[in-house]
């Protein structure tokens, strides 16, 4: 493993809680690194803008970026938004980086359009752009005469559908369901909810949909209101784990634990603790790691696949401990085309 040439990080964060600092013992199947055919990613210089590190998901994404940087020796600069809703601040950070000299840019936009100005500046210089986690809106990119080299992230529709399938196994009787999404209009949240609704069996009916802005307390308040209006609610589907924990609090406070199920995307720890009944886990560490690998490969002139789905895993009480032990990697092997491009 090479010693990193230089690491410049704009924002330090406090240590994540012990439940999130689980050792990574999963692995991908990208093969042995450090052989004679490995391409010189250490010569690349990458500018990175990600979402706010106030959310553990993006802390793990940064960890994945840092892990790859330590392995490759690439020079990177990471700029993080002040929060997961700081659209203007994040846009300013990318605009500032766009005025600097990088070989590739890695972007994790808060919305589909908030980074378009900076992306347009980068595209005008014909520098590759790698998009992770939240997709840049295609129409906005086209209007800016910009094209991303690849998109890397969770297949959110598939994740939502997987949760719906598990809900049918947990509750064969069916009933009314409410969904709790993130920010209204957010593509990621909408895709998860759409996948969930498409995957629901005919025995379930979605009776209410709300947005809780990815906030635990707001999700709890929304769930309390929903339960008052729908005391026989069969289940909540929640678009992320932090909000799901807020919903679980509302369910417990209403003495409906075990009667009103809580299922979500993400939530390994919540399933292990018994607060969440099932979840589909995604792996932001892998998203960040693959994202930097893709930028390194693009900077070296490699052609990238248009889209790469990162791994997801169904988490139940039966496998939650195994998933915890493997985190931040998935418990099973997965394909990594970017490691292949780098000759690893």
**With 70 as the cut, is the pLDDT of residue 23 above it?**
no
**With 50 as the cut, is the pLDDT of residue 228 above it?**
yes
List, in order, residues 6 or more apart from 143 with CB less than 8 Å away.
Answer: 116
**With 70 as the cut, is the pLDDT of residue 43 above it?**
yes
164 within 8 A of 156, measured Cβ to Cβ? no
User: pTM for the complete prediction?
Assistant: 0.82
Q: What is the pLDDT of residues 86-141, one digit of tens each?
A: 999 999 999 999 999 999 999 999 999 999 999 999 999 999 999 999 999 999 99
DSSP letter at 205?
E
State residue 49's pLDDT score: 98
- What share of the chain has pLDDT > 90, as a percent? 84
**With 50 as the cut, is the pLDDT of residue 225 above it?**
yes
**With 80 as the cut, is the pLDDT of residue 19 above it?**
no
State residue 100's pLDDT score: 97
Q: What is the pLDDT of residues 45-91, one digit of tens each?
A: 999 999 999 988 999 999 999 999 999 999 999 999 999 889 999 99
**With 50 as the cut, is the pLDDT of residue 34 above it?**
no
Phi, psi of 272 (to 5 degrees): -60, -35
Residue 212 vs residues 180, 216, 222, 246: alpha-carbon distances, Å: 6, 8, 7, 10
State residue 53's pLDDT score: 95
Residue showing tokens 């992230």: 153
Q: How far apart are CA 123 and CA 210, in angstroms?
A: 37
Q: pLDDT category, 9, cuts 50, 70, 90? A: very low
50 within 8 A of 78, measured Cβ to Cβ? yes
Whole-number average pLDDT of the chain? 90
Q: How far apart are CA 108 and CA 335, in angstroms?
A: 21
Q: pLDDT category, 38, cuts 50, 70, 90? A: low
Kindly report the number of other CB atoms within 10 A of residue 10's CB atom.
12
Q: C-alpha angle with apex 251: 246 to 256, nearest 5 degrees?
A: 165
**With 60 as the cut, is the pLDDT of residue 26 above it?**
no
**Strand residue runs (E) in the chain:** 7-9, 45-50, 75-80, 104-107, 129-132, 150-153, 175-181, 204-211, 235-238, 261-265, 278-282, 307-309, 312-315
In a 3-state reduction of DSSP, which class is residue 161?
helix
Q: What is the pLDDT of residues 273-294, one digit of tens each?
A: 999 999 999 999 999 999 999 9
62 within 8 A of 80, measured Cβ to Cβ? yes
| Per-residue tokens: 291 | 């994202």
């Amino acid at each position: 493993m090479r010693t990193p040439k230089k690491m410049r990080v704009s924002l330090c964060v406090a240590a994540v809680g012990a439940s999130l600092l689980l050792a990574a013992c999963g692995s991908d199947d990208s093969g042995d690194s450090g052989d004679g055919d490995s391409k010189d990613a250490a010569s690349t210089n990458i500018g990175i803008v990600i979402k706010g590190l106030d959310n553990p998901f993006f802390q793990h994404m940064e960890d994945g970026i840092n892990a790859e940087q330590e392995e490759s020796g690439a020079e990177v600069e990471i700029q993080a938004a002040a929060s997961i809703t700081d659209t203007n601040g994040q846009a300013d950070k990318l605009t500032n980086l766009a005025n600097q000299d990088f070989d590739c840019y890695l972007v994790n936009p808060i919305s589909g359009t908030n980074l378009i100005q900076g992306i347009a500046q980068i595209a005008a210089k014909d520098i590759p752009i790698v998009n992770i986690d939240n997709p840049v809106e295609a129409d906005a990119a086209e209007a800016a005469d910009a094209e991303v080299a690849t998109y890397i992230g969770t297949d959110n529709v598939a994740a939502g559908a997987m949760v719906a399938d598990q809900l049918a196994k947990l509750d064969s009787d069916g009933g009314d369901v409410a969904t709790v999404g993130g920010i209204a209009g957010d593509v990621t949240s909408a895709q998860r909810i759409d996948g969930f609704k498409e995957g629901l069996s005919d025995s379930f009916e979605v009776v209410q949909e709300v947005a809780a802005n990815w906030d635990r307390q707001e999700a709890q308040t929304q769930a309390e209101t929903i339960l008052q209006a729908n005391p026989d609610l069969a289940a909540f589907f929640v678009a992320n784990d932090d909000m799901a924990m807020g919903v679980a609090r509302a369910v417990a406070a209403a003495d409906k634990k075990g009667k009103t199920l809580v299922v979500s995307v993400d939530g390994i720890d919540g399933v292990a603790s018994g607060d969440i009944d099932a979840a589909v886990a995604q792996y932001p560490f892998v998203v960040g790691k693959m994202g930097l690998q893709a930028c390194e490969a693009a900077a070296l002139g490699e052609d990238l696949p248009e889209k790469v789905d990162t791994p997801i895993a169904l988490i139940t009480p039966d496998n939650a401990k195994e998933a915890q032990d493997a985190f931040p990697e998935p418990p099973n092997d997965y394909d990594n085309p970017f490691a292949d491009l780098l000759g690893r």
